[in-house]
């Protein structure tokens, strides 16, 4: 029974070796130009600051959450596309309603200015 898992083990080992080789090659062959802007910490869409209690703009988080929301909704279209022929008319109209709801949500966020970065 364990012999049937041998190809999976080989696949994992090849993936780990390839990943380690690519990281090592990038480290050895990659450019090593350091400058102040590159070496400074940068997180969450804005410069790092000293006090963690300072107020900061939450637009970055809003855009990130909206991206994740719309990205996950679009991800539902891939399984639908795979079984499109088996679903028939019901599956087509269901996805059309889903896309319409997605579009209405996107237009709403666009009109509210949630996607603007000023």
pLDDT tens, position by position, 84-95? 889 889 989 998
Percentage of the chain with pLDDT > 90?
A: 30
Q: Is 35 exposed, middle or buried (0-12, 13-18, 19+ CB in 10 A)?
A: exposed
CA distances to 82, 87, 103, 106, 112 from 100, rounded to whole Å, are: 20, 19, 5, 10, 18
pTM to 2 decimals? 0.48
CATH topology of domain 10-112: Methane Monooxygenase Hydroxylase; Chain G, domain 1 (1.20.58)
Q: Is 46 helix (H, G, I), strand (E, B) or coil?
A: strand
pLDDT in tens, 37-73: 777 766 655 566 666 666 666 777 777 888 888 888 8
Domain edges within the chain: 10-112
Rounded average pLDDT over 69-85: 85
């Amino acid at each position: 029974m364990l012999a049937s898992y041998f190809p999976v083990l080989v696949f994992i080992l090849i993936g780990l070796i390839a990943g380690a080789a690519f990281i090592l090659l990038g480290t050895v062959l990659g450019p090593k130009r350091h400058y102040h802007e590159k070496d400074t910490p940068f997180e969450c869409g804005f410069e790092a600051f000293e006090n963690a209690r300072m107020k900061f703009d939450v637009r970055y988080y809003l855009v990130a959450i909206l991206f994740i929301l719309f990205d996950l909704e679009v991800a539902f279209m891939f399984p639908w596309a795979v079984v499109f022929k088996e679903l028939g008319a019901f599956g087509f109209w269901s996805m059309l309603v889903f896309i319409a709801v997605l579009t209405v949500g996107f237009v709403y966020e666009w009109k509210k200015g949630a996607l603007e970065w000023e």
